[in-house]
Structure 1
């Protein structure tokens, strides 16, 4: 898919000049990247006529590499450019014009058998990149101001990566749960035509219909299609969702969703998570 968007509609004042430098930098090295995280979310929502409640002023990108030496080379060459510097506190973080944060997340053959990466030299900093390969296969092409073309993950991939991220860092805050809930609330509105024409009974024919549960059903359908070729990833998602279903009122995920989205009701959220798991399990 290819979408066109104007930079003035995205509340990221440095996004266009940043991409204008990043794209040729990676092209010269034969490396492709795609945008993940909140920036991708905001762009997708803008294209769909929606708005995120929480705008971001940074950007996360993912790159596939075969060995850590490639990342070290990229890092050294990137900070040689006039407008880029390295954040001394974060292994993956760079700065554009000393204020715009860029997280470059590598994956590929550097992952271990558990889909984690461990940053050299001491390998004390680990990141879970489970699902990145699937996300890479479902990117959306964005043309910015008819000038700049780049790839971003689609919305179901963002949901997938948010579930993985939440598992890793929910003890540090509720930001990922907030994003998960936001997608659950808006997924049906964004995909209503496809839901009606391709999945009407599964989405609109659910018992005790609510919009959140209908949205969850479509999320489960799309999530299953996204991860079906990776049994390990599918099993991980089912197990994680099931843990929160079994915990019920004690579920950290559900409680964080309710904390960040005051209008949602516990029973509706619980049933929606059950529906995602049921669709995913088919």
Structure 2
């Protein structure tokens, strides 16, 4: 676990922190938005820490993966897709408004990936969402397909999951 300072007084340029212990800057894109939406966890000491919601965690992992292309970040994204697939509240959302589910031929795994992408986008300001989508379009998600080792072995289904995830990120407003 890394502890990285972030915020307007620290980031220069915006979205990059430069801790004194490192030469290179660290991308902190989305940190503030994810922090603001994080859930408090109260410790026995009375102190509280904030835990990112799955969509916030996924947003930070996607940004890290776009920068580093590491298997660990891809595994974490696959785990988040799994969380969404298993989530009762996501399943209820899919069936409350059938549009996304219908778009993906009633495949809950694929539709859940779409919802995750959409929820990640909604963590961001319009400007930051546009910047993330632009980065995704430039760098692509193609090689994410082979790295999502937590998903079914069917490469075609993995491609559908990644495409739905990208569609959710690109959708300006699903709700």
TM-score between the two structures when normalised by the length of structure 1: 0.52
**Change beyond 3 A, Cα 1:156–1:211:** same
Q: Secondary structure at the match of 2:5?
A: strand
Aligned twin of 1:155 = 54
The Cα shift of 1:127 comes to 0.7
Deviations 1:83-127 (A, max 9, x none): xxxxxxxxxxxxxxxxxxxx3210112212351122338x62321
Q: Indicate the residue corresponding to 1:179 in structure 2.
A: 76
* Aligned: 1:216 with 2:107: no
Separation of aligned partners in 2, 1:262 and 1:127: 29
> Is residue 105 of structure 1 aligned with residue 7 of structure 2?
no
Q: For residues 73 and 32 of structure 2, what CA distance do their matches in structure 1 show? A: 20
Cα RMSD over matched residues?
2.6
User: How many Å separate the matches in 2 of 1:139 and 1:244?
Assistant: 28
Q: CA deviation at 1:274?
A: 2.3
Show the counterpart of 2:130. Answer: 235
What do the CA deviations read for 1:161-186 (whole angstroms, capped 9, x no partner)?
Answer: 0011112222xx31000010111122
The structure, 1 or 2, with the larger RCO (C-alpha pairs under 8 Å, 6+ apart) is 2
Q: 5+ residue gaps in structure 1?
A: 1-59, 61-102, 246-250
When the two structures are aligned, how many residues end up with a matched partner?
168
- How much has 1:255 moved relative to structure 2? 1.9
Deviation at 1:157, TM superposition (A): 0.4
Matched, 1:280 2:169: yes
In our comparison, the structure showing a higher alpha carbon Rg is 1
CA contact (8 A) 1:166 1:177 kept: yes
Deviations 1:131-180 (A, max 9, x none): 0011011010223469553321111100000011112222xx31000010
SS in 2 for 1:188: helix
Distance 1:271 1:128, change over 3 A: same
Superposed CA deviations along residues 219-266 of structure 1, whole A, max 9, x for unmatched, are 123123211x241x2123323433435xxxxx3322222xx3363432
CA 1:105–1:202 in structure 2 vs 1: closer, same or farther (change >3 Å)? Answer: farther
CA contact (8 A) 2:104 2:110 kept: no
* Residue matched to 2:64: 165
Matching residue within 19, 35, 38 for 1:139: 38
Q: Which has the higher strand share?
A: 1
Deviations along 1:8-52, one digit per CA (max 9) or x if unpaired, are xxxxxxxxxxxxxxxxxxxxxxxxxxxxxxxxxxxxxxxxxxxxx
What is the DSSP-based 3-state SS (H/G/I as helix, E as strand, rest coil) of the residue aligned with 2:56?
helix
Aligned to 1:270: 159
Secondary structure (helix, strand or coil) at the match of 1:106 reads: coil
